[in-house]
Amino acid sequence: MRQDGAPPPADPAPGPATPRTRTVDVHRYGPDAVVLDVHLGQYREVFFVLTGDKSVTITMLDGSDPTHHEAQVFVFAKPWQWSLDAPDEE
C-alpha cells in the first residue's frame, strides 16, 4: 500500500518491449525512522533507516529472492549534519 492509500501498480506483462514499472514508497515514523519499499518488476526490497545520536542503522530485506530470505544489517557512524527531516526533493 502506498503512502496515499492507493495499491502499488500492477507488474507489467513480461516481454522485452514492455517498460518496467518502478516505485519507491516512503513511510516516515517520526524524525528518526524511515521505511523505503522499493518495487521494480518482480524485484522488491525493503529498507529500514534508523538514526540514533551517534549512528545510522540500515536494515534491508530482499523479499523477491526466495533462496536467501535473510535480513542484512549495516551500522554506520552518523555522518555530520545527518537529517531525515530533509525535504522530499533532496
State residue 46's pLDDT score: 92
Count of CB atoms situated within 10 Å of the CB of 81: 5
State residue 66's pLDDT score: 79
Report residue 60 CA to chain centroid gap: 8
Q: How far apart are the C-alpha atoms of 78 and 42, rounded to whole Å?
A: 33
State residue 65's pLDDT score: 77
State residue 8's pLDDT score: 62
The mean pLDDT values, 10 residues at a time, for the chain of 90 residues are: 58 57 87 91 89 91 82 88 64
What SS3 state is found at 34?
strand
Q: How far apart are the C-alpha atoms of 72 and 17, rounded to whole Å?
A: 34
